[in-house]
Amino acid sequence: MTYKATYQSSISDPVSFWKEKSELIAWYKKPSTILSKNQDGLDCWYADGELNTSYLALDYHIEQGRGAQTALIYDSPATNSVQQYSYTELRDKVAFFAGALDALGVSKGDRVVLYMPMIPEAVIAMLACARIGAVHSVVFGGFAASELAVRIDDATPKVIISASCGIEVSKVIEYKPLLDQAIELATHKPHSCVIVQRPQAICSLVEHRDFDWQDIMAIATAKDPVPVLATDPLYILYTSGTTGKPKGVVRDNGGHAVAMRYSMEWVYGVKPGDVYWAASDVGWVVGHSYIVYAPLITGCTSILYEGKPVKTPDAGAFWRVCSDHGVKVLFSAPTAFRAIRKEDPDAKLMQQYDLSKLERLFLAGERLDPPTYEWLKQKTGLPVIDHWWQTETGWAIACNPIGEALMPVKPGSATMPTVGFNVQVLNSHGKPAEPNEQGSVVVKLPLPPGCLPTVWNDTPRFKSSYLDTFDGYYLSGDGGYFDEEGYLFIMGRTDDVINVAGHRLSTGEMEEVVGSHEAIAECAVFGVADPLKGQVPIGLVLLKDGVDVDDDELEQELIQLVRDRIGPLACFQRAMIVERLPKTRSGKILRKTIRQIADGEEYTVPSTIDDPSILTDLEDRFSHLGMS
Ligand code: COA
Ligand code: AMP
C-alpha cells in the first residue's frame, strides 16, 4: 500500500481500519464495538474490550519468549551508571511495586501522582499503576511546588511517589522539600507517599505518611495484572492551556495500546527487539508514549537517559548513548540538537562513536527549523524526520511514515497527516483554507485511537477548549497551512501557549503570577524567538500608581516569583517596565503584535488598536535592548 491508500482507508472507513489494527495487541476480551459514543456523546474506541497495559508491556513478551531480552536500559551520566533490566526483571519489579501500592490501599481507578526524576523507579511505578488499574499522573520534575499542588488538587491521588532528589547536570535538586511544600499547599492530602532515597541527597520522611521505596518493596507481594475496560483511564497528564489551571489530558487504555503498537511500525519503522531511544523526560507526553508505553508494548529495548544533550559531559553525549547501546531510532526535540550544534558545530564529537546501527532521527516538540534540519542531515547522513504532535493526541498527527515509502522531505514541514487523523486547515470563517493559506489546524472527528477522550473531571472544559470552536472538529491550537502538494506546515500556536526548549508553557499563567506582585497593575507575557530554546518568555509590566521601585530589583523579584510558582523550566528571565500596553479599544492586550515587534517581524497595525503610538514606543524600547 502507498501512504495515500493507507491514509484514505483510515479516513473513509475508520471502523474497519481500527478493527483490523486492534488485532495487533493481546486483549483479554477482544472488542466487538469498535467506535461508539459514551454517555456524554463523545467518541470512544473499543468500548467493550478488556486488557491490561502493563501485561501488554511486560508479561506478554515473557510469554512470547522475550523474557531475557533487555526491556530497559537506564543510562545516567548524572550518576555515572548504567543498568539494564530484562523483561522478566522489569516485570518482577513492577509486579512487586503493584503489590506495594495495593498494600497502601490503591485500587482500580484510584489516582497516583508521580513527581520523579529520570530513574527506573519512575517507569516501574507507572507500569505498576497500570497493572492494578490505578491512574497515574506524572508531574515533570522542573515544576515548582505550587504547580504540583494544583495537580494534586485536581487528580486527588491516594498516593504520591517521588524521590529525594533529581540531578540536573551537576546540580542536585532536592525534590522532597518541594513535595512537602506542595502537600502543604494542596487542599487534598494523599494518604501516603513513597520516596526513592537517592544517595546524592537522603531526605527525612514524615512518620505514618512517607515510606521508603526499598522498605515497602522488601515486604510486598507480587500482583498480577487486572483486566480493565478499554475506556478506563490509564493516566492523566497535565498540560498548559491558556489559563493558570492546567488541563488534565486523559489517556484511555485500549485505544492508546493499539495506537502505540501501530505507530511503532508505521511511524518509526521499529520492530520487536529493536533499540529505541526517545531522549525526552517521563514528565512529558513523549516520555509517556515513547520511553515507556510504545517501545515496551512493541517488545523493543527502550532507553531511559538521565542526562542532557550537552554538558553531561559534552555535546557528544547523544552519539555516545547511540553507540553504546546500538540505538536504531533516536527521537528528540530540535532544541536539543541546537544545543549540540552550538557546542560542537562541526560535529567532531560524533566521529568518536560507531553510529552504524543508527538508522534515522525523529524530531518533535516544536517546529524543526530548516537550519537545524540541514545541519543534522548533513552531519549524520541519515533521514531526519519531523513529526507534529501534542500531549492531547499522544502520538503524531502528521509525520513522514517510515512504514510506507518515505516521502521526499520539505524542510519546515511535518509532511502529511498520520493515518486516522483527518487534518484540515480552516480559515477564520470556518471554511477550508486554500493551499498555502494559513489558518487553524483542526482534525475532523472522530479522532483516532490514542487521543484524549476528555479532560479529567471536566468534560465541559474538554468541549469548550477543543470541540466548540468548529463544530465537528478538534481544535489543535496550532496555526499552519497545506501546500499545493498536501504537505502540512505547522507554524506555531494560535493561543497563549509558548514552547520553551520543547516545553509547553502558558503565558496566561505567567501573567497571573507576574500580576500577583504587589507593585504590578497590569502585565503582558509573550514569547520571543530564541536561537537555542525556540522561544523564551518576556514580561511587559505596568506599575500601580505611586509605586516607586528600582527596575532591576523588580525584575529580579518577578523572575524569582515565576521560578517559585511555576518552576525554573519557565526560563522567565526578563521583565520590562512600560508606561502603557498596546490594547484594542475593547481593552484586549495585543500580544501577537507585541511579539512581532520584539521579533523584528513585519506587522500590520491592528485596525482595532486604541492608540497606535504605543507601538512606535515599543519598537524603540525593543531595539534599544538589542531585540527586534
Ligand atoms: N528537574 C528539576 N529542574 C529541572 C528539570 C528537572 N527535570 N529540567 C530542567 N530543570 C531546570 C534546569 O536545571 C534549569 O534551571 P536553572 O535555571 O536553575 O539553571 C531550568 O529548569 C531550565 O532548564 P532547561 O530548559 O533544561 O535549560 P538548560 O539551559 O539547562 O538546557 C537544553 C537547555 C536545550 C539542553 C534542554 O532544555 C534540553 O535538553 N531540552 C530538550 C527538551 C526535551 O527533550 N523536551 C521534550 C520534548 S520531545
Ligand atoms: P506538547 O503538548 O507539550 O507536546 O506540545 C505540543 C505543541 O508543540 C504543539 O501544539 C505545537 O505547537 C508544538 N509542536 C510539537 N511538535 C511540533 C512539530 N513537529 N512542528 C511544529 N510544532 C510542533
pLDDT, one tens digit per residue, over 224-271 is: 999 999 999 999 999 987 777 899 999 999 999 999 999 999 999 999
Nearest CA to ligand 2 atom 6: 390
How far is ligand 1, taken at its centre, from the CA of residue 63, in Å?
Answer: 39
Q: What is the pLDDT of residues 342-369, one digit of tens each?
A: 999 999 999 999 999 999 999 999 999 9
Nearest CA to ligand 1 atom 45: 502
Residue type, 98: A
How far is ligand 1, taken at its centre, from the CA of residue 223, in Å?
Answer: 36
Confidence at residue 241, expressed as pLDDT on a 0 to 100 scale: 76
> 172 CB less than 6 Å from ligand 1?
no
Those residues whose C-beta lies under 8 Å from the C-beta of residue 431, and which sit 6 or more positions away, are none
- pLDDT band, residue 576 (cuts 50/70/90): very high
Nearest CA to ligand 2 atom 3: 504
Backbone phi, psi, residue 211, to 5°: -125, 145
Nearest CA to ligand 1 atom 39: 336
Nearest CA to ligand 1 atom 42: 502
How far is ligand 2, taken at its centre, from the CA of residue 417, in Å?
Answer: 14
> 166 CB less than 6 Å from ligand 1?
yes
Q: Which atom of ligand 1 is nearest to the CA of 168?
A: 13
Tell me the three cell numbers of residue 68.
531475557
Residue 372, pLDDT > 60, answer yes
How far is ligand 1, taken at its centre, from the CA of residue 396, in Å?
Answer: 23
Confidence at residue 624, expressed as pLDDT on a 0 to 100 scale: 66
How far is ligand 1, taken at its centre, from the CA of residue 538, in Å?
Answer: 18
Nearest CA to ligand 1 atom 8: 142
Q: Which ligand lies nearest to the CA atom of residue 505 in the structure?
A: 2
Residue 193, pLDDT > 60, answer yes
Percent of all residues in the chain with a pLDDT value above 70, rounded to a whole number: 99
Among 154, 239, 233, smallest CA distance to 465 is for: 239
Tell me the three cell numbers of residue 268.
518509526
Mutate which of 167, 569, 572, 573 to test ligand 1's pocket (most atoms within 8 Å of Cβ)? 569
Q: Is 165 helix (H, G, I), strand (E, B) or coil?
A: strand
CA torsion, points 151, 152, 156, 160, in degrees to nearest 10? 120
Mutate which of 366, 384, 415, 440 to test ligand 2's pocket (most atoms within 8 Å of Cβ)? 366
Using CA of residue 433, residue 439, residue 444, residue 450, what is the dihedral sign? positive
Residue 626, pLDDT > 70, answer no
Q: What is the pLDDT of residues 433-489, one digit of tens each?
A: 999 999 999 999 999 999 999 999 999 999 999 999 999 999 999 999 999 999 999
Among 200, 231, 174, 270, smallest CA distance to 40 is for: 231
Q: Which atom of ligand 2 is nearest to the CA of 388?
A: 19
Confidence at residue 610, expressed as pLDDT on a 0 to 100 scale: 83
> 335 CB less than 6 Å from ligand 1?
yes
Q: Which atom of ligand 2 is nearest to the CA of 284?
A: 3
Confidence at residue 591, expressed as pLDDT on a 0 to 100 scale: 86
> 364 CB less than 6 Å from ligand 2?
yes
- Could you give all domains of the chain from N- to C-terminal order, each with its CATH number? 501-624 (3.30.300.30)
Confidence at residue 1, expressed as pLDDT on a 0 to 100 scale: 64
How far is the C-alpha of 267 from the C-alpha of 406, rounded, in Å? Answer: 10
pTM (2 decimals)? Answer: 0.96
Tell me the three cell numbers of residue 355.
553510529
> 140 CB less than 6 Å from ligand 2?
no
Q: Which ligand lies nearest to the CA atom of residue 116 in the structure?
A: 1
How far is the C-alpha of 118 from the C-alpha of 72, rounded, in Å? Answer: 12
Kindly list the distances between the CA atom of residue 235 and the CA atoms of 92, 145, 165, 275, in Å, as whole numbers in the listed order.
21, 21, 23, 25
How far is ligand 1, taken at its centre, from the CA of residue 569, in Å?
Answer: 6
How far is ligand 1, taken at its centre, from the CA of residue 533, in Å?
Answer: 10
How far from each other are the two terminal CA atoms of the chain, in whole angstroms?
A: 49
Q: Which atom of ligand 2 is nearest to the CA of 491?
A: 21
How far is ligand 2, taken at its centre, from the CA of residue 397, in Å?
Answer: 10
- Can you say how many angstroms the Cα of residue 23 is from the centroid of all Cα atoms in its chain? 28
Average per-residue pLDDT for the chain: 95
Please state, as a whole number, how many other Cβ atoms lie within 10 Å of the Cβ of residue 199: 8
How far is ligand 1, taken at its centre, from the CA of residue 393, in Å?
Answer: 23
> 124 CB less than 6 Å from ligand 1?
no
Mean pLDDT of 307-323: 98
How far is ligand 1, taken at its centre, from the CA of residue 618, in Å?
Answer: 30
Q: Which atom of ligand 2 is nearest to the CA of 504?
A: 3
Nearest CA to ligand 2 atom 21: 367
Residue 606, pLDDT > 90, answer no
Mean pLDDT of 568-596: 90
How far is ligand 2, taken at its centre, from the CA of residue 360, in Å?
Answer: 20
Q: Are 176 and 165 in contact (CB under 8 A)?
A: yes
Mutate which of 282, 367, 369 to test ligand 2's pocket (most atoms within 8 Å of Cβ)? 367
Q: Which ligand lies nearest to the CA atom of residue 287 in the structure?
A: 1
Residue 628, pLDDT > 60, answer no
Q: What is the pLDDT of residues 12-70, one digit of tens each?
A: 999 999 999 999 999 999 999 999 999 999 999 999 999 999 999 999 999 999 999 99
Residue 338, pLDDT > 70, answer yes
> 569 CB less than 6 Å from ligand 1?
yes
Q: Are 297 and 57 in contact (CB under 8 A)?
A: yes
How far is ligand 1, taken at its centre, from the CA of residue 125, in Å?
Answer: 23
How far is the C-alpha of 55 from the C-alpha of 453, rounded, in Å? Answer: 22
Q: Which ligand lies nearest to the CA atom of residue 166 in the structure?
A: 1
Question: Which DSSP letter does residue 56 get?
Answer: I
Mutate which of 499, 500, 505 to test ligand 2's pocket (most atoms within 8 Å of Cβ)? 499
